[in-house]
Structure 1
Amino acid sequence: MREALASGGDLSLDMILDVHRSLINWSGGSFGGELRQEQVWVGGTAYSPHGAQYVPPAWSRVEEYLADIIAFANRDDIDPIAQAAVVHAQFETVHPFIDGNGRTGRTLLHKMLRRAGVLSCVTLPVSAGLLHNIDSYMESLAVYQQGNPVAVVEQLVDALELALVVGRLVAIQIDAAMEEWTQRFTERKGSSIYRLPPLLAVQPVVSTAYVAERLDITPRASQNLVNRACEYGVLRPIGNRHRGTYYQADGLIDVLEEASSLPSIRRMVSTGW
């Protein structure tokens, strides 16, 4: 996801293909960055579009329709939230890939909002907001495909509001976890171990090599630091001989698991966590 979000500038076909490639090929897929050359459909069965919720346009029209989306996305005379919502809905309508359209479309949505200055950082969980009520989200796309864009714009506004709530609550929980960790430490102030919690907030599963590189310390110092973090209960060793040894910050993983669960999101919003 970081790689997919890294490229800047205006939306382009190459950017869209790069985003899809980054999201698909890391897991061993062989079709990342390739526009579909077959008919696909949403819902129904794998054998026939009969009973499908939606049948996208023929694959021969995909590149033409993407060019239209790109031209619209790069205009600067449209409200950025309305523009991002329409681009997202039209991208899902065209469905340019055989798989991964949803992930790619949501990543492009983040990129557009970041480019327009609506978001100052990409960690706001807009996707969680969109998928908070999947039925409502799918219905807004269906209404859009009938020619009315208002529903998808409202859906994105609601998603942004929900994402702000979820993002704030997650930040509070992560800050609390890191503060609790630092209170356990008995090392002198300025020790490398105090630089570890902010690193884990970015990457809650690490190797000693990663810690050494990011904190600019020797491999031996990194191993000692990680061992101390395990003694404090900040990290826990995971992995095996085949995959290698990694270390996981269970406290942060728990927060992220909670924030990625739809029932938990609903509970967060209704109770303030």
Structure 2
Amino acid sequence: MAQMQWPAIGSEMLPWDRDVDELQLLPKSARRKIRSTYDAAVPLKIAERTIVLPSALTARISELLVSIARFDAEQARRGYDLPALLLRSESSASSQIERLTSSVRNVALAELCEDAPQNARLIAGNVAAMREALASEGDLSLDMILDVHRSLINWSGESFGGELRQEQVWVGGTAYSPHGAQYVPPAWSRVEEYLADIIAFANRDDIDPIAQAAVVHAQFETVHPFIDGNGRTGRTLLHKMLRRAGVLSCVTLPVSAGLLHNIDSYMESLAVYQQGDPVAVVEQLVDALELALVVGRLVAMRIDAVMEEWSQRFTERKGSSIYRLPPLLAVQPVVSTAYVAERLDITPRASQNLVNRACEYGVLRPIGNRHRGTYYQADGLIDVLEEASSLPSIRRMVSTGW
């Protein structure tokens, strides 16, 4: 067993308010487990903690940072927004960790149309949260965390987005009470002080950036400051931390694809972290980033091929509006004529002509129905993203190079 650098999280006994009338509605077996008190976690404060990394892990991080910087610089030379595409892959993988799945097409459609499946809207919220986090400048702050959570939750139609919880939550067990739960986060009255502690740690400049991002994420999951959406918000903060430290300035790596690849190890690392070993989550993030680079490079190669193929199909003179369409599809692979007209600043009629021409070239294909309306999807991009967003495909990429 690894030597623990920090004390393990503690606990405190709190009263559990049992509603007598509600208890009568429960099966006897469930009633017997519900007691008048329960134990909630009391995590360690981390603002001034140090992390000692093994020399082998430090060497891996150094090599990783060089590889990430090289990949990040490559994206600035592309003629389209690869980061927007990888952001979609990241959002889908992060949602799959929470057992939320939907097609890439439906998620893109949900950003344009309210009549989309609920899971698609939830994952579209993850895309919006990622954009919110990456657009924010400067240090981590409470307002920024609340804004990210609000962007995530608003897409689901719920009203608690951006609001810290004011009730006890728990992981695992039953819906009736925290008794028998796998993990019971701290009491809601402690959430604000713990978030302030996380923010203080996150804004230090004397910690390895990969280790810092990993610990911020793990502590955030330990505190569980919201009623729902903690996992997806916490993984979004990983990207904010990497952007703040300058590890990534352009691209968005599908870090959650790396975590999804070995989700049992990911969950185990969080449990080990809570027992006092911060190195476990750092190793897990390094593993995930190494795999994310593999996935990112393979996706980039496939998207480059799609863009090149499209360019070769076009017969219009250079400078024609149709050459402006592929970069737009990289940001939004499902479009409407109204969306194209607005983003390319052309008339509705010109947009319809442009979309029709793209359909003739096989770049776009009409989808939708009379009730929903007509939309158009870029099959070439959708296919690549579907491959990069499923666990079997991610494992195949790693083992075969796609």
Please give the TM-score of this superposition, normalised by the length of structure 1: 0.96
- Larger deviation, residues 153-162 vs 180-189: 180-189
Per-residue CA distance 1:66-123 (angstroms, 9 max, x = gap): 0100010011111111011000000000000111001100111101101101112242
Relative to structure 2, which stretch is displaced further, 226-235 or 14-23?
A: 226-235
Contact 2:258 2:291 survives alignment (8 Å): yes
Indicate if the aligned counterparts of 1:239 and 1:245 stay in contact, CA closer than 8 A.
Answer: yes
Match of 2:229 among 100, 120, 128: 100
Rounded Cα–Cα distance in structure 1 between residues aligned with 2:374 and 2:248: 36
Change beyond 3 A, Cα 1:11–1:240? same
8 Å contact kept, 1:59–1:96: yes
In terms of Rg, which structure is larger? Answer: 2
1:140-185: CA deviation from partner (whole Å, max 9, x where unpaired): 0000000110110000111111111101100111111111112222
| Residue 232 (structure 1) shift | 1.5
Deviation at 1:256, TM superposition (A): 0.7
Q: Take 2:250 and 2:218, find their aligned partners in 1: how far apart are those partners?
A: 22
- Give me the whole-angstrom Cα distance separating, in 2, the residues matched to 1:23 and 1:220: 35
Q: Deviations over 1:34-93 (max 9, x none)?
A: 111111111222223344221111111111100100010011111111011000000000
Matched position secondary structure for 1:239? strand
3-state DSSP class of the match of 1:42?
Answer: coil
Please give the alpha-carbon distance, in whole angstroms, between the structure 1 residues aligned to 2:363 and 2:179: 53
Per mean C-alpha deviation after superposition, the further-off stretch among 192-201 and 103-112 is 192-201
Higher-RCO chain (CA-CA 8 Å, sequence separation at least 6): 2
The percent identity for this pair of structures is 97
The CA distance in 1 between the partners of 2:251 and 2:243, in whole Å, is: 7
Please give the alpha-carbon distance, in whole angstroms, between the structure 2 residues aligned to 1:50 and 1:271.
45
Q: For residues 189-214 of structure 1, what are the alpha-carbon distances to aligned partners after superposition, in whole Å with 9 as ceiling and x for unaligned? A: 22111221121112101121221222
The SS at the match of 1:52 is coil
Point out where structure 2 has 5 or more consecutive residues left out of the alignment.
1-129
Q: Which moved more, 1:65-74 or 1:233-242?
A: 233-242
Residue-pair matches, total: 273
1:116 aligns with 2:245: yes
TM-score of the two chains, using structure 2 as the length reference: 0.66
CA distance in structure 2 between the aligned counterparts of 1:50 and 1:134, rounded to whole angstroms: 25
Q: How does 1:22-101 map to 2 (within 5 A)?
A: 22-101=151-230
Does the CA-based 8 Å contact 1:4-1:23 persist in structure 2?
A: no
Distance 1:50 1:250 in 2: 49
The alpha-carbon distance between structure 1 residues 120 and 41, as it changes in their structure 2 partners (threshold 3 A), is same
Comparing 207-216 and 69-78, the one that deviates more: 207-216
Quote the Cα distance in structure 2 between the aligned partners of 1:233 and 1:48. 55
Cα distance, 1:215 vs structure 2: 2.0
Q: Against the structure 1 CA distance between its residues 6 and 242, is the aligned structure 2 distance closer, same or farther, given a 3 Å change threshold?
A: farther
